[in-house]
Amino acid sequence: MKVGIVVFPGSNCDRDMYHVLTDVFNLDAQYYWHEKTLPKNIDAVILPGGFSYGDRLRAGVIAAHSPIIKDIQKIANKGIPILGVCNGFQILVESGLLPGVLLKNESLNFMCEWTNLIVENNKTPFTNQFKLNEKIPIPIANGEGRYYVDDETLKQLKKKNQIVFRYSQVVNGSSNRIAGVCNEDGNVVGMMPHPERAVESEINPIDNKPSSLIFESLLVKMGASN
Amino acid sequence: MSLEPQELSELKSKIGRDPTSTELHIIAAEWSEHCSYKSSKKHLKMLPMKGPLVINEKGYDSGVLDVGDGYVVTAHIESHNHPSAVEPYGGAATGVGGVIRDILSAGTRPIAIFDGLRFGNIEKDQQARWLFKNAVTGIADYGNCLGIPTIGGEVEFDDCYQNYALVDVAAVGFGRKENLIKNHAQKDDLVVLLGGSTGRDGIGGSQFASDSLESEDRSAVQIPDPFIEKLIIEAILEARNHKLIHAMKDLGGGGLSCAVSETAEALEIGIEMDVDKVHTRESNMHPDEIMVSESQERMLIVTNKTKLKKLQEICKKFRIGCSVIGHVKSDNQMHVKKGKKTFANLPTDVVANATLLDLPSKKPAYLETIQKEKKLKPISNYSKTMMTLLASPNIASKIWVYGQYDHEVGIRTVLKPGADASVLRLDNGKFLSAKIDGNPKQCYVNPREGAIGCFEEACRNVVCTGAKPIGMLDHLQFGNPKDPEIFWTFLESLKGLTDFAKYFEIPCVGGKVSLHNETPAGSIKPTPVIGVLGLIDKKPLVPQKITESDCLVILGDTKDEMGGSEYFEYIHKFIGGRCPSVDFAESKKNMKTVLDSIENLLLKSVHDCSKGGLAVAVSELCMTNQIGCNISLDKIPCEKLDVDRILFSETHSRYLMTLDKKNLKKLETLLKKNKVSFQLVGHFGGDKIQFNDGKKTIIDLRVDKAQKTWLNSLRDLVLHG
């Protein structure tokens, strides 16, 4: 079972994600530089957080034109699980794989703090081990993390069950307190909070079990499809 | 240019001719106070720099400590005061960039940033507020983009920094000992300039920083680009893994002049370089400008012809510039050419070694009377005074600041900002604890005791996490050294730090001297900032939540030491009094006792007692744990003192220990065995912070109300004035 971690110039959570996948969950993870191609037999792809291209123009917008995005689009169409975290989410949105946009936080500041997520969709490859409405204590760290969609799109997202995570309280002014969404098929998931920062008890002062379920969901999904 | 007339004639006699214009630029940069340490170097030698864990190699820009199992920790501290006072965003951001490259140049990956920020009175002065706000954003934008967590620091406001700013940045690196760059070079090796292009920013920055700040010379301020810095970090660590780097140096103050001459001098080689080979941001740059530009995000690397191709490949992958600008010679000359024409040709020892000064010093007149205390207006309502202190900018929570810094990236941060000291996990199962502390108010009242106090406070903070101090960084910030009274305060501080370092066997692993911190309104107060690194072999003390009926034990005596306290200065607007002084033997005993108690798993948490004294320290425990407490002032260990002094004196070597009452007996036995002064002073519970003087409750605050004020007041002040 092979998980690819895509590295863009300026990615900075790639090594953290690698550590969690390999050392905590014993997965076979590999880095893929943004100019490389992804192998056909890959089982899942993660776009980690960071500041691809220094957030120039708009977070994620330049990376969305990287050569590897074409491969990611193909893989997405095949139903393979793809997770974008923070800047990875921004890149998935900018490349059109996920709906909506990410705007500057309401405070106009970078925010690094612990939040609580509520699981709204437990059918995705990254949430299948959760109960609906389960709470996840998890940190955010972003400047452009306010998810925005217009009212019509929001209706569609609700109807098609594309809202995956919501904040339990207002954090940054996101539409409908949305923290993570998926595509219509449910295999591409993007989220602003950082699950890789919350799975180890040593650095998570609250409760590391809920975040671990994000990765355990992937393990179950990959186990089921192999 | 700021070469003094006697320096010019000295240069002429050393090289036996008139210098060229380029040579003058190079020498002016390299002999500036900022690069040469000419006023301080003679005296800095007094600091102990060796220790069992210290690895000393030539040409390192950062201190290196062996933390066992084949791993090293690197550390350095820098400031960017003048630039930040003119352009706080860029000045603060490039301050981060510079110190990060110092860590990188040893071949280690930067894993943490700390920042110490000082500004004028933000309650009154809009300019100070603007400087503060933008310096914080500058640090946040730079560190966050690099993916290096900013995990600790301090923020302080004082009238002496009006129209000025002190921006100190410390950084810590981590790596394998075998990957350390062993700076060496041989004839015909290549000299490569890697990273951002050289432009007309930061021209003469080091001289700018070596004068008092009188004009806003914006072209002397460097422009930050954290994205390029991030690419450089990854490119260099990849090159390091392929063993492509013989020697490496960051381009900081003095730009190419400094990097080339210091590399040549440290490695005892000559370097011949061609300014036409330097990749520049704009055409038609004069060789003088190229040599002294302080454009950021550049590194100088020595490699050889066979390794160059791979190095270029790596740079191409990251799309960063990589120019071969020269080669190594065996003649100990720094030879700067443009094409075939020579622009400078100087012996490297002349360039790199300014004549060191032995400046006169004289005890400042103000110190003769400053100890005397004025009769102060009695406090009628201590609860109200407490709320005023909790809302004051120096004591209020700094969450508005560190909430803008990514302090989690890298997934090492075990103890996060807001704790006494931050703690990082290392790859060998050990933990690194670190803290920086300064206290200009006390250093002004007593330069020696104040400096020692900063050092002890930083030690106390790392000890509170269960760490043993293993190294210190000193950053000595003063006014114009040519003023004998200012220079005296510098020497006194330095002697104090040296005495403490020797007594506690904590080596100085790195530091920086920043002089000429003055505006037309005058000099800053003496502001040494001390960083302490501590190592934890097993587990750090992660504070457990305090619950109903837990005990509070105070370790250490409270003394009549109100000089430079927040209570005197903020509440009574009085500068003066007796400065807290550290009793070395008592300090050592108390540190050891805290570490013993942690090791024996007797404590829920330990909190250091400092700014605002006991009353503030106890309140902080209550507010962070959202629980009340009831303290009897007559139980506080002290000689006979009045209520004000017990509550607000900032005596050192004191710790607040919290514990489950079931451990009380064991703790008392341990404390008695260690022969320390201590008392059980109260219990936690309820929802009020209460201090009792006999039967009278003199402070009575609701925890939730106090917490709200403490958490929000700094943000409200910045946003709404």
In one-letter notation, the amino acid at residue B70 is: G
Fold of A2-225: Rossmann fold (3.40.50)
Tens digits of per-residue pLDDT, A104-116? 999 999 999 999 9
A137 at B interface, C-beta within 8 A: no
Res. B454 pLDDT band, cuts 50 70 90? very high
Res. B58 pLDDT band, cuts 50 70 90? confident
**DSSP β-ladder status, B508-514 and B468-477:** parallel
Separation of alpha carbons B569 and B648, rounded Å: 11
| Chain B residues inside the 8 Å CB shell of A104 | none
Q: Between chains, do A203 and B413 touch, taking CB under 8 Å as contact?
A: yes
For residue B200, the model assigns a pLDDT of 87
A208 at B interface, C-beta within 8 A: no
Helix B305-317 crosses helix B226-241 at what angle (to 10 degrees)?
A: 140
Tens digits of per-residue pLDDT, B412-439? 999 999 999 999 999 999 999 999 999 9
Alpha carbon of B649: minimum distance to chain A alpha carbons (Å): 33
Residue B449 CB-half CA count within 13 A: 21
For residue B321, the model assigns a pLDDT of 96
Residue B330 DSSP label = S
Tens digits of per-residue pLDDT, A129-139? 999 999 999 99
B246 at A interface, C-beta within 8 A: no
Give CA B294 to chain center in angstroms.
22
Write down the catalytic residue from A94, A120, A144, A196.
Answer: A196
For residue A46, the model assigns a pLDDT of 98
- Phi-psi group of B204: left, alpha or beta (phi > 0 → left; psi -120 to 50 → alpha; rest → beta): left
Q: Where are the domains of chain A?
A: 2-225
B453: number of Cβ within 10 Å: 31
Task: Output B19-23 pairs: Cβ under 8 A, ≥24 positions apart.
Answer: B19/B346, B20/B343, B20/B344, B21/B288, B21/B343, B22/B287, B22/B288, B22/B291, B22/B336, B22/B343, B22/B344, B23/B343, B23/B344, B23/B345, B23/B346
Strand runs labelled E in B207-353 = 247-250, 270-274, 298-303, 321-329, 333-338, 341-347
Supply the pTM of this predicted model.
0.95
| Chain A residues inside the 8 Å CB shell of B542 | 205
Domain B543-721: CATH architecture, name and number where available = Alpha-Beta Complex (3.90)
Label residue B677 exposed, middle or buried (CB < 10 Å: 0-12, 13-18, 19+). Answer: middle
Alpha carbon of B132: minimum distance to chain A alpha carbons (Å): 14
**Residue among B411, B406, B405 nearest B427 (CA):** B411
Mean pLDDT score, B261-279: 96
- Please answer whether residues B560 and B636 qualify as being in contact, where contact means their C-beta atoms are separated by less than 8 angstroms: no
- The residue of chain B nearest to residue A34, with distances taken between CA atoms, is B317
Alpha carbon of A220: minimum distance to chain B alpha carbons (Å): 25
B720 at A interface, C-beta within 8 A: no
Q: Between chains, do B227 and A53 touch, taking CB under 8 Å as contact?
A: yes
Specify the domain boundaries for CATH 3.90.650.10 within chain B.
1-31+183-352, 543-721
B678: number of Cβ within 10 Å: 22
Q: Between chains, do A111 and B140 touch, taking CB under 8 Å as contact?
A: no
| Chain B residues inside the 8 Å CB shell of A16 | 409-411
Q: Above 70 in pLDDT, residue B703?
A: yes
Domain B1-31+183-352: CATH architecture, name and number where available = Alpha-Beta Complex (3.90)
Q: Between chains, do A51 and B317 touch, taking CB under 8 Å as contact?
A: no
Q: Which of A53, A56, A111 sits opposite B403 (nearest CB)?
A: A111
Write down the catalytic residue from B80, B82, B246, B607.
Answer: B80
Write down the catalytic residue from A86, A94, A120, A182.
Answer: A86
Write down the catalytic residue from B25, B34, B76, B246.
Answer: B34
- The residue of chain A nearest to residue B139, with distances taken between CA atoms, is A110
**Number of Cβ pairs < 8 A linking chain A and chain B:** 81
Interface test with B, best of A19, A31, A51, A112 (most B CBs within 10 A): A112
Residue B113: phi, psi to the nearest 5?
Answer: -125, 145
- The residue of chain A nearest to residue B141, with distances taken between CA atoms, is A110
| Chain A residues inside the 8 Å CB shell of B425 | 202-203
Q: Above 90 in pLDDT, residue B223?
A: no
Q: Above 60 in pLDDT, residue B376?
A: yes
Place of tokens 């990611």: A72
Q: Which of B222-226, B293-297, B363-367 has the highest mean pLDDT?
A: B363-367
